[in-house]
């Protein structure tokens, strides 16, 4: 083989080798950037982690709400529905969580019944607001509760009972929708409340969507709900 033939053979071999490396290299690059490899070879291109749910919780001092990461367990027993828990607030203005006292298990009427509510103490005339949104099902004056209001939650599975009010907010009526924080009336001592100890009697009842407001329903302790404990 002469010199010219040798040069031609070398050139041809180099061309074939280059082509093989180009094809192989392209295949390796494609594999490295495929979906199955991105998580380990390109972390910045990996699929983002799911965003955590946001939950509205009660503020430590004021009873107002704020948004935090995470979700509430809607299967927690003896609590209102998830929506109610996230939206509920202390129903008396200027009362902090630390001001509340758990009177749920106190006896009443000489030990013949349990209180099954909490008394939120405040000066007479202090504004009472809706602890959660809902619809007013009943406004009337009862022998025990004095000026009372029954508000049913939006999902109709919770009833909020407000009693011993000094007066009702102007224009309040049955069938009216109320928003969280809307004024319902003021703290008083009507009904069987002691006249020198004005307070709001606040009760939470778990019911069913088809039940009437007056039908017996199991009570829930409002204290841990309002204090976050």
Tell me, yes or no, whether 151 and 39 share the same domain.
Answer: no
Tell me, yes or no, whether 129 and 148 share the same domain.
Answer: yes
Q: Are 215 and 205 in contact (CB under 8 A)?
A: no
Q: Are 188 and 147 in contact (CB under 8 A)?
A: yes
Is there a domain that residue 49 lies in?
Answer: no
Tell me, yes or no, whether 37 and 63 share the same domain.
Answer: no
Is there a domain that residue 146 lies in?
Answer: yes
User: What are the backbone dihedrals phi and psi of residue 99, each rounded to the nearest 5 degrees, phi first?
Assistant: -85, -15
Tell me, yes or no, whether 38 and 60 share the same domain.
Answer: no
185: confidence class by pLDDT, cuts 50, 70, 90: very high
pLDDT (tens digit per residue) in 123-133: 999 999 999 99
Tell me, yes or no, whether 58 and 33 share the same domain.
Answer: no
State the pTM of this model. 0.64
Alpha carbons 74 and 64: distance in angstroms, whole number: 21
pLDDT (tens digit per residue) in 47-92: 333 333 333 344 444 444 443 333 333 334 455 555 456 679 999 9
Q: 227: burial class by Cβ within 10 Å (0-12, 13-18, 19+)? A: middle
Is there a domain that residue 85 lies in?
Answer: yes
The alpha carbon of residue 183 and the mean position of all alpha carbons in its chain are separated, in whole angstroms, by 21
According to the model, what pLDDT value does residue 71 have?
A: 34
- Domain carrying residue 15: 3-43
Report the number of distinct structural domains present in the chain: 2
The alpha carbon of residue 38 and the mean position of all alpha carbons in its chain are separated, in whole angstroms, by 37
Q: Are 100 and 90 in contact (CB under 8 A)?
A: yes
Q: Which of 137, 152, 150, 158 shows the shortest CA–CA distance to 207?
A: 158
Tell me, yes or no, whether 27 and 60 share the same domain.
Answer: no
22 contacts: CB under 8 Å, gap ≥ 6: none
How many C-alpha atoms does 82 have within 13 Å on its Cβ side? 9
Tell me, yes or no, whether 198 and 139 share the same domain.
Answer: yes
pLDDT over 70 for what percent of the chain? 59
């Amino acid at each position: 083989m002469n010199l010219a033939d040798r040069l031609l053979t070398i050139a041809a071999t180099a061309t074939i080798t280059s082509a093989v490396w180009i094809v192989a290299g392209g295949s390796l690059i494609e594999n490295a950037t495929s979906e199955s490899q991105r998580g380990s070879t390109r972390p910045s291109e990996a699929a983002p982690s799911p965003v955590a749910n946001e939950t509205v919780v009660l503020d430590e001092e004021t009873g107002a709400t704020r948004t935090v990461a995470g979700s509430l367990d809607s299967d927690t027993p003896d609590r209102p529905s998830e929506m109610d828990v996230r939206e509920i607030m202390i129903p008396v203005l200027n009362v902090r969580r630390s001001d509340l006292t758990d009177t749920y298990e106190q006896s009443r009427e000489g030990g013949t019944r349990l209180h099954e509510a909490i008394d939120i103490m405040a000066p007479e005339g202090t504004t009472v607001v809706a602890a959660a949104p809902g619809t007013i099902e009943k406004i009337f004056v009862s022998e025990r509760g004095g000026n009372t209001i029954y508000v049913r939650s939006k999902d109709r599975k919770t009833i909020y009972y407000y009693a011993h009010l000094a007066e009702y907010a102007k224009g309040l009526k049955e069938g009216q929708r109320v928003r969280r924080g809307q004024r319902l009336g003021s703290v008083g001592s009507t009904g069987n409340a002691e006249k020198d100890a004005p307070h709001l009697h606040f009760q939470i009842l778990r019911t069913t969507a088809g039940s009437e407001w007056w039908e017996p329903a199991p009570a829930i302790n409002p204290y841990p709900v309002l204090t976050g404990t």
